[in-house]
Each structure stands twice: as C-alpha cells, then as structure tokens.
Amino acid sequence: MKRATAPARPLIALGAGLAAVGTAALLGLPNLAKAPEARLTAAASAPPEGAYWHTRVLTKHPEHRQLGSGANLYTVVQQSLVEEWTAPDGRRWVGSRELGAYPQSAADRAAWRRDGSPTKWTRTANGQTVSLSTKPAKGHVTPVRGDNTFFLLGQRLTYDEVQRLPANPEALKAWLTQAARVSQMSEASVDRNITSALPSLLHELPAPKEVRAAAYQALLTMPGVTSRGKSVDGAGRTGAALSIEYQLPGQKETIKVTTDLVVDTGTMLLLSDSQTTLRNGKVFLNKTMSQTVLQAGWTNTEPVVPALP
C-alpha cells in the first residue's frame, strides 16, 4: 500500500494484485498476488457498452443576492446543463450551457413584473455587479486535459479497475475506508467522505450495475443517512428517496447540510440530488442547489454542445 500523491495512483490495482496480503484480507478479496487463478477471474471485467459513458445533468441554484429595487426585490434561480462524455481509456469531454434565470417563487415573479420584467441584469439590488439573463446561452464543448483516469475518493482508477470494484456493500465500504486513509484524510472525516463518494458510483463513474447496487446498499448503512420512502425528482420520475444530514464543526456558527437523493433502484442510477445548507437555522442561499440527472449511461453519440431541454 502506498500513500497517495498528486496525481494519486490507484489504491488497489485489482487486475495486477493487491499491494499487501493484509489489505486483501481487510477487503474480503482474494490475495491476487499469490493466486494466479483468482487473478484471471478478476481480470475479466465487463466490456464497455458504448463509445462513451455519458451524463447529462441539469443544475439549478438560487442567486444569493436579491435583484430589483425599492419594494420590488426578488430572487432568481440560475440553471445550467452540463454533459460529460468519458471514453473507456479515460479521455473526457465536457459540454456546458447556461439556460437562463427565472424568478424563484410566485412572490418573486410578482416583484419581477413590478420591476418591469427585465430579461437581463448587470447589477444586484445593492449595486453589486452581476451578469444574468433569462435567455439561454450558446454553450460549448471542450476536451478535458490531464490524467486519463477515473477519480474516486482520492484514487485514480483505470476503466478496468472501476469494473472490478467490490460488488459487496461491506467490501466496498472497506475499500473506500482504506482509500480515504491512504489519501490522508482525517479519521474524523472518513465516514463523511465515504458518504459523499458513494453517490458518484451511481452516475459519474462507469461502474457495473452490481457495483452501483453495492454502493446504494452501503449508502443506506452510513451515519446520517435516512431512507425516506418514495419521491419524485425534478423530471417527474419516481425513485427511492434518501436524506444525508451532517453538521459542520464550528464554534460561532451552526452549519447543517442536508442532501436529498432520489435513486432509480431498477437501474441503480441516481435521478437527482439537492442540497440545502442552514446557517444558524436559516437557509444559506449561496450553498443551496439541485441537480437532476437527465441521462446516465453508455452512448455512441459524439460529444456536442448540450441541446436545450
């Protein structure tokens, strides 16, 4: 086992053998370094089902500074689309497009109309500079330069290593625990970092469905995670609802963060997540957002500028 450096190397090269016998025992996996037959079994990862692992995510977050003037003050929601295409060899492209801002609530819409229904803003209500518009931007798509690997909790993995992540909830948690420690995360933050990393296996990484199922089951066992039954996401789809709550340490302020997830337990893919931060019991708009995963899966379609939803 080696300490992670920048860029971090894989914690466990699953196709080439574990770094130590003790790690293999910890994770409940065979000692691949001493078992050729096991090594051959582990090397049989699932081939990709397309040219790219593709995600299309709609993000919404309220502008934390009010717009308008006088008695006509209102909050607008900014929205954007981000699409990612990742080839099995790690090459990646990102497309993004601003979709335009809109008043957050009925009261905000009324104040916006009284303010003359502006379609763009260059100043906030208190005179700060902004650049906002109700109209969609043209958008762009660009290749991502850098290390062609998949990032998971401080570790950089190849496609094959992602395929061979543990498909057992306890083994996956053990792997992530060791990853957090090798990445030199503080012991007090290990559980929180594991809880934050598990949802990425439900849409960001091209993990097999069995690994995604293990990630979902592991998430249910983490501190601060509560099952909320069924819920509907921003696109009208029904899935299993989970809430993740934690409080940030602080002496003068109380910061509580709640993340709500909706998961399709048929495909084991994340449908949406939303985050609300309370500072001393009040909503902290600068840290509030929602994401709807409109698409996640394999595609042969080449990277293009995101189309309007």
Instruction: Answer with the residue of higher pLDDT: 37 or 267.
Output: 267
- Report the distance separating Cα 193 and Cα 82, nearest Å: 24
pLDDT for the residue numbered 6 = 38
How do 289-299 and 52-62 pair as beta strands? antiparallel
pTM for this predicted structure? 0.83
CA distance to 11, 37, 185, per residue, from 178 (Å): 8, 25, 10
Six token digits for residue 21: 């016998």
Statement: residue 16 has pLDDT above 50: no
pLDDT for the residue numbered 11 = 54
| Residue pLDDT, tens place only, 61-90 | 999 999 999 999 999 999 999 999 999 999
How many angstroms from the chain centroid is the CA of residue 289? 12
Give the position of tokens 């397309």.
50
Neighbouring C-beta atoms of residue 99, cutoff 10 Å: 20
Q: Per-residue pLDDT averaged across 113-117, rounded?
A: 97
| Inter-residue contact 191 to 181 (CB < 8 Å) | no
